[in-house]
Structure 1
Amino acid sequence: MNPDVVNDYDLLKRICNSSEPEYLSRLWKLVYNSNQQNLYSKPMPWIGIYVALASLFCILAMVADLFHGLKNRKLWFPCKYFTVNAASLTVIAVAMKLPMDLSNLMPGVVDQVAKVGSTSFICTMLANLLPSLATMDSKELVSNIIALAVLVITLAVNVCIQIYTGIIFYSSDDAQYHDPKYFYTEIQFFEKVIVVAIFVVPMLMLLIIYACSSLAILKSKEILESKYQAAHQKALKDHELKQPGRLLSVEMLKQHVSNYWIMAGTGSPQFMSACSATTSATGFIGVILGTIAPLARCFAALSFKLSLKWIWKHVKVSKVESFWTQKLYDWKKSSIPFPSSSRRCKIVIQVLKILSLSICIGFQKTVVVACKMIAVIPILIAVIPIFFVICFLYFLRCLKWLKAMFSASSIVLGQNSAQQGKNKDLRGYVLQLEDDIEFADRTLKGMLKSVNRLIQKAEKQQPNNLMKLLAESRGFEGVEKFESHRVPPLVSEEYINCWSLPLVTLTSIIMSLPNIQKNKVDCLVSGVSEGLVYVKLVEETLNATDDHVRIQKAAKTLWVEVEVYHKWLGNKLPISKPRMNTPEHILQWLRNTAKNMVIKVESMDIRGQNDNSKYSSICANSMYRITETILLSYHENIDEISQEELFALLSSMIADILAACLTNLPQVITMKCHTSAIEKREASVRAAAQLLGETTQIINSLQDRELPSLNPKDLAFIDKWHSYIKHPFP
């Protein structure tokens, strides 16, 4: 019983029986306090809207993960938008404001359901967030688990306090009674225990599962990493079958991407976490609390190994896989620094460490066994529906088999045998924590279908303008012609060449020609723009040194100015100056303008140079060397060359440089398949598959060309190409 309510009730009785001034004063004070309380409660609707918006944000993030999983055929629903981090924990804390409130009354069924229902909502969020733990490194995992534990424990304590005080069960309808004992609904101790068990215990159970899963995740990543490295070495050996001096074929690249797709998919930490017993247990707990979202995750995890053998494995509670407790055993065997040199003190600390970790190991095994038992319950409930589904699937399979027999049976059987052989080869790239569990054929086929579907979808996005430009290339001679060593650089520090800067400079020269048809120039600019997308990928992947990056940044900045504003270092393109109608005059004007810019920058004091001046110097030096090379190469008949002929000459150079650069695309694709960070492998392989689909026609068009006899690593550098084509060596 709230003592304030009893005092106010006694006060009202005394006021009714007396007219003393002091009681009238106290009555005025009581009315004043009531008015003030109503005034303080006015912002409550806005606070409710704030809480509702935070809850809506969490729901939308979970729905986005749901659609992302369906879109990518990942029915275990990976966490992409709703993950455990500082932002999500802050939003969850805002959404949990109602059950966190210890003093405000919630007079009404709707208000009480909103407060109590928040505990079910946080259980739903915890069930959805569990796989995201696998995307974190050890430091992030520890910090986020601690932050989540503080939030959940605080929420659980606050709810327990409200259950104990009875404020969570307050009803304004009870105020109609004159007896003060009805002002607060009294509940018995046993009823309080039941309410705590329903609304508090599941949250704490999920928190315990989170802690146990974190220990397993740390060890599981080590196991998956070791198996990935072994499969990676196997893939590299298979990759060495390429013909020397030739590009890898599209079929070989598809096989290579498929291998790494299987490795990244089955070795994904989130996939491993979603298929664990703890995730199934969290899903079932969420279902029991009346939530629907975790149900899909629960059954998705169960569908990975849906068989009687799997059910029996979970029923055998005596078996707990080593990765669940291995990290604790490692800590138990490891040594710790002792603060004291006393031998007795060391013995005590060592014994306490072993004892505490032994207790933790036992607790970990208990939690895992409990989660496995909980995970079996949905299967036992759904035995009959699953039985009918299996029968229906077998019926469909029989129909397909009969149809195959009456049609081209021999061809189908040959294709099936080839597919089975392919699947058998791909099984060597499947990564599993437990080798004694057979990986489902259906899951493997689903992964292959997803990567093939991604490649086929990307094949519809071919760069058509780039293909038209590459059709003008018949070899790689333009790589040698665009620049001559007879033209010394104007800058004191000789810049390294990259692929993109000569392309941008040559395109700028073409755009400076005033008599060329606009549609021809626009088509070439579009082709170069599409080509630079892949050129930048080659440079970022294979030319990542500081010197190359500096030149690449200058080319990127210049291209924005050329493509968008039709300017070269502030000069309008095409050049519309008197006596600028011949290619010779245009080239000379560009050369002289570039030379003056370089000299101006070089004459500056070092302290006066900034990023813009260095960028101008790099671009102007490239323009000077290329225009001077063209003038020297055609000095005898430069005055006889028309703008159309110069356009064709420069277009051929651009096409040759693009073709030479894009011969590195197979190497870029193979390198993108592999990355050292386990959390980024899926995204990296997806990018490789997307790139392969988009560049299929490019690779096929360059397939028959003989590459220079260079080290494969040297093919990524334009200077190596330039030197080899000028002076080929056996």
Structure 2
Amino acid sequence: MPFDGSAEDPERASSIEKLLEAPLPWIGLYVAAASLACAAAMAADTLHGLWRKKHWFPSRYFSINATSLTLLAVSMKLPVDLSTRMYSVTDRLAKISSLIFMSTAMANILTSLGSMTDQDVLMNVTALGILVITVVVNVAIQVIQMHAYLGNRLGFHEELLGTLSMLFLLLMFVSTAVMIPSMKRYLETKYHEMHRSALIEDEIDLRKVITVDKLRVLVKKYWVMAETSNPQFVIARSVTCTTSGMLSLMICLVLAEVEIRMAMGFGLLQHSFSSYGWSTKFVLIAQTAGVIVGTIAPASRWLVAVKYSSLNQGRRSFGNAVSVEDYWTQKMVEWRQSSLSFQIRHFKSRKLIHDLRALFLKSCISVQRLVILASKLVLLISICFTSPVISCVDYFTRLRRQNRVAHSASSRDPEVSEKVDPELDLSHYVMLLEGEVELPAETLENICKEIDQVIHKGKLKRPNNLLKLLSKSCSFKGVGEFDSSQVPPLHSQDLPYCWSLPVVTLACIALALPNVEKSKLDCLLRSVTEGLRLVKLVDKTMDKKGGLANIRTAADVVWVKVELYHKWQDEDLRNVSVKGKNAAEILQELFYKAEKTVLEFQRNARDCLMKNPLNWPANVIASNAMYRMSRTVLLNHGGCENEETDDALFDKLSFMIADILAACLTNLAHVITVKCHHSAIEVREKSVRKAAMLLGETEEILALLQQRQVPILAPRKATDIEEWRAFVKQEKIDKQSSVTRPN
């Protein structure tokens, strides 16, 4: 007979209840594991900020997203549990630590809103709001139901403070989220103005080879702009974030106080009478550790903001210090003034809804102003209490720094330290919002040091083998010689080239030649491998429309097999160069196989898309290139039948590859400049960092190319190998005509 829950069978009801509660300790352990995961992510962000000397601690590993919200929801299992009795010291502390852990996590992830799009901000803040309100409502239900026993409820006041702190931090989240669109728009406008100023000031002309010194200065300017306009950094400097940091520090002290008080009065981790059993101890330990670790970053943001403001407070009046800037409410003002996003035909209804919306938004604007004003007052009060201590600490810090600089000036490693230009003032490239205090010189110095370290790190990765290959190039004539117009095409429409495809194909031909020393083959393989990484970067950066995507893919597919397996189209290049064959025979074998592949594909192709060679598969595009280039080499260098001529042909192919690489890499300065000026504000810092790394890697290449007479082409034409081919061929014709012209 099924159990109906009646009182006639209390033993059976008790046994079923025990069976249902048996997994709860393991669920508690799962809660502890989720809390530890969040704590580890917060610790990683803290260590990253300390390592990079970014004392505003960007949210890199712990940000607001689906994963972190899910982990936080799991961590809140104890506060939202309405049915389990949790009255012991350990149980009550575990509930309080959960609430304070949630507040600490919110204070940590506030800055991550800056790295999101407006749509992501809306979705994530809404999800966080639902989670926080759910927790608060559950706590409120417990308090209301147990109001008769609140006098004996352990840690009730601390529980109430933890709940209120979550609500305050949610309010900070909403206030910050409303400000983000206006903040980004303002920074974008300011950035584009500074972008034009940077190019004009440094006289950057993309039609010419830019000097390394100009590029280094340009990268530093863009780095300062990108770093100081980083939305996460801007949010970290905001008053809502600094208030969140102070609140995080206060609730951490609250948790410390209640744990110490409970430990002294009742003993800690001694008893747990709830169904969660022994697991509540692990939850308490994990969440307490998370609160301690997670308080470092928000508290540091608050202390840094207090320090900056106290040092600049003398330059600002009290009215300016507590005024609410327009960008805090600009988005809501725009919403209030805009028309309805949906159509209502009835005039009075439309007018009523518009007025109600305007009234609601007016109230929201007033609340937003009140929140910002309160946050600024909190900052001013913090300054009043901490300014004497900060002044003393700042004085001794400056003395210690001066002594350290004087001590290390004589022993500084010239390879590690960059040459500092005393006339280079980057302070006017700092991006500040309206009403923000100026960043201290120490912060700007750390920002510049970071980009210097990135450039130096790039220098350690310089492509030495590529530099040796480029030193063999004396001109750019190889750009016009790798493909001859005398080779009959296999298709009515010629396939264009990207920079990497001829380099890959010529390298395959060179590696297949017999009677060449293995050391020379290995050296060419390493050189081309290093060069292709840069060439592919040029191809991808300059081919903005993606018209040569299949050509680039073909080159990449071919080189993967060559580099790893020494194979071209499943043909082992080491077996091709067997003893008894000369260069001419190998070239014939290569172009015969390539020609066969292309013709067979054209015969069997039925899709109308395949009528356009740009849509061909990678192996067919690579075969077409091999057919043309191997036959061109055979036309120009055929009849090579001894070891000396094979070696000479290898050298000529190496020179040709070097010429193509040199011509391609003249665009490196353009690539670095393009990477510096990235349009998306959320990833601009990362893009400039890559540009600085690339500058460090290629400084010697850029210096080598500066010594060459580079053709002056239009910026768009300078990036296109077909334009280079046309230019080199025309230059050759002009020279021949000038020689044959009678005096």
The normalised TM-score by structure 2 is 0.85
* More displaced 10-residue stretch of structure 1: 509-518 or 691-700: 509-518
Give the 5 Å matches for 1:233-632.
233-242=196-205, 245=208, 247-290=209-252, 291=291, 292-293=295-296, 294-307=298-311, 309=313, 318-336=322-340, 340-396=344-400, 419=422, 421-423=423-425, 426-434=426-434, 437-576=437-576, 580-607=580-607, 614-632=617-635
Instruction: Give the Cα separation in 2 of the matches to 1:448 and 1:676.
Output: 22
Q: How many percent of aligned residue pairs carry the same amino acid? A: 38
One of 91, 102, 107 as aligned partner of 1:111 = 91
* More displaced 10-residue stretch of structure 1: 134-143 or 306-315: 306-315
Residue type at the aligned position of 1:209: M
SS at match of 1:496: coil
Instruction: Give the Cα separation in 2 of the matches to 1:192 and 1:60.
Output: 27
CA 1:401–1:47 in structure 2 vs 1: closer, same or farther (change >3 Å)?
A: closer
Per-residue deviation at 1:88?
1.6
CA 1:77–1:134 in structure 2 vs 1: closer, same or farther (change >3 Å)?
A: same
Q: Is 1:198 equivalent to 2:165 in the alignment?
A: no
CA 1:534–1:317 in structure 2 vs 1: closer, same or farther (change >3 Å)?
A: closer
* 1:281-318 residue CA offsets vs partner (Å, 9 max, x unmatched): 11111111114332123223444444251797679775
CA 1:164–1:709 in structure 2 vs 1: closer, same or farther (change >3 Å)?
A: same
RMSD of the alignment, in Å?
A: 3.1
Per-residue deviation at 1:334?
2.1
Instruction: Give the Cα separation in 2 of the matches to 1:161 and 1:216.
Output: 33
Instruction: Give the Cα separation in 2 of the matches to 1:255 and 1:468.
Output: 27
CA 1:622–1:477 in structure 2 vs 1: closer, same or farther (change >3 Å)?
A: same
* More displaced 10-residue stretch of structure 1: 706-715 or 152-161: 706-715
Is 2:82–2:138's contact at 8 Å kept on the other side of the alignment? Answer: yes
Give the 5 Å matches for 1:651-690.
651-690=654-693
Is 1:166–1:186's contact at 8 Å kept on the other side of the alignment? Answer: yes
Is 2:513–2:577's contact at 8 Å kept on the other side of the alignment? Answer: no
* More displaced 10-residue stretch of structure 1: 563-572 or 71-80: 71-80
Instruction: Give the Cα separation in 2 of the matches to 1:483 and 1:287.
Output: 69
CA 1:712–1:338 in structure 2 vs 1: closer, same or farther (change >3 Å)?
A: closer
* More displaced 10-residue stretch of structure 1: 529-538 or 598-607: 598-607
Residue type at the aligned position of 1:667: H
* More displaced 10-residue stretch of structure 1: 222-231 or 508-517: 508-517
Q: Is 1:212 equivalent to 2:175 in the alignment?
A: yes
Instruction: Give the Cα separation in 1 of the matches to 2:616 and 2:191.
Output: 47
Per-residue deviation at 1:498?
1.1
- Matching residue of 1:176: none
SS at match of 1:103: coil
* 1:105-129 residue CA offsets vs partner (Å, 9 max, x unmatched): 2253222211221110010110011
Is 1:311–1:376's contact at 8 Å kept on the other side of the alignment? Answer: no
- Matching residue of 1:146: 126
Instruction: Give the Cα separation in 2 of the matches to 1:500 and 1:532.
Output: 7
Is 2:312–2:438's contact at 8 Å kept on the other side of the alignment? Answer: no
* 1:150-169 residue CA offsets vs partner (Å, 9 max, x unmatched): 000001111122233349xx
SS at match of 1:270: helix
Instruction: Give the Cα separation in 1 of the matches to 2:541 and 2:65.
Output: 30
Residue type at the aligned position of 1:216: M
Per-residue deviation at 1:381?
4.2
CA 1:546–1:322 in structure 2 vs 1: closer, same or farther (change >3 Å)?
A: closer
* 1:399-449 residue CA offsets vs partner (Å, 9 max, x unmatched): 68999999xxxxxxxx99x62x422xx233221112674342222222111
CA 1:347–1:542 in structure 2 vs 1: closer, same or farther (change >3 Å)?
A: closer
SS at match of 1:54: helix
One of 80, 83, 107 as aligned partner of 2:63 = 83
- Matching residue of 2:414: none
Per-residue deviation at 1:37?
1.8
* More displaced 10-residue stretch of structure 1: 513-522 or 282-291: 513-522
- Matching residue of 1:707: 710
* 1:151-195 residue CA offsets vs partner (Å, 9 max, x unmatched): 00001111122233349xxxxxxxxxxxxxxxxx92249999845
Per-residue deviation at 1:36?
2.0
CA 1:673–1:316 in structure 2 vs 1: closer, same or farther (change >3 Å)?
A: closer
* 1:79-99 residue CA offsets vs partner (Å, 9 max, x unmatched): 111111122211211121121
- Matching residue of 1:72: 52
Give the 5 Å matches for 1:14-163.
29-163=9-143
Q: Which ranges of structure 1 fall in alignment gaps of 5 or more residues? A: 1-24, 168-184, 407-414
Per-residue deviation at 1:492?
4.4
Instruction: Give the Cα separation in 2 of the matches to 1:724 and 1:338.
Output: 58
Instruction: Give the Cα separation in 2 of the matches to 1:586 and 1:189.
Output: 93
Is 1:163–1:192's contact at 8 Å kept on the other side of the alignment? Answer: no
Is 1:284–1:375's contact at 8 Å kept on the other side of the alignment? Answer: no
Is 1:275–1:302's contact at 8 Å kept on the other side of the alignment? Answer: no
Instruction: Give the Cα separation in 2 of the matches to 1:512 and 1:196.
Output: 76
CA 1:265–1:308 in structure 2 vs 1: closer, same or farther (change >3 Å)?
A: closer
Instruction: Give the Cα separation in 2 of the matches to 1:81 and 1:553.
Output: 33
Is 1:558–1:569's contact at 8 Å kept on the other side of the alignment? Answer: yes
- Matching residue of 1:21: none
Per-residue deviation at 1:241?
4.5
CA 1:116–1:560 in structure 2 vs 1: closer, same or farther (change >3 Å)?
A: same
Aligned residues: 677
Higher relative contact order (CA 8 A, sep 6+): 2
- Matching residue of 1:18: none
Residue type at the aligned position of 1:156: V
- Matching residue of 2:282: none
* 1:495-540 residue CA offsets vs partner (Å, 9 max, x unmatched): 1111111111111112212432222211110110010000010000
Q: Which ranges of structure 2 fall in alignment gaps of 5 or more residues? A: 253-290, 411-418, 736-743
Instruction: Give the Cα separation in 1 of the matches to 2:324 and 2:578.
Output: 86
Is 1:482–1:626's contact at 8 Å kept on the other side of the alignment? Answer: yes
Instruction: Give the Cα separation in 2 of the matches to 1:310 and 1:104.
Output: 56
Is 2:207–2:713's contact at 8 Å kept on the other side of the alignment? Answer: no
* 1:596-637 residue CA offsets vs partner (Å, 9 max, x unmatched): 111111111324999997222111111111111111113466
SS at match of 2:516: coil
CA 1:26–1:233 in structure 2 vs 1: closer, same or farther (change >3 Å)?
A: closer
CA 1:77–1:401 in structure 2 vs 1: closer, same or farther (change >3 Å)?
A: closer
CA 1:337–1:558 in structure 2 vs 1: closer, same or farther (change >3 Å)?
A: closer
Residue type at the aligned position of 2:331: K
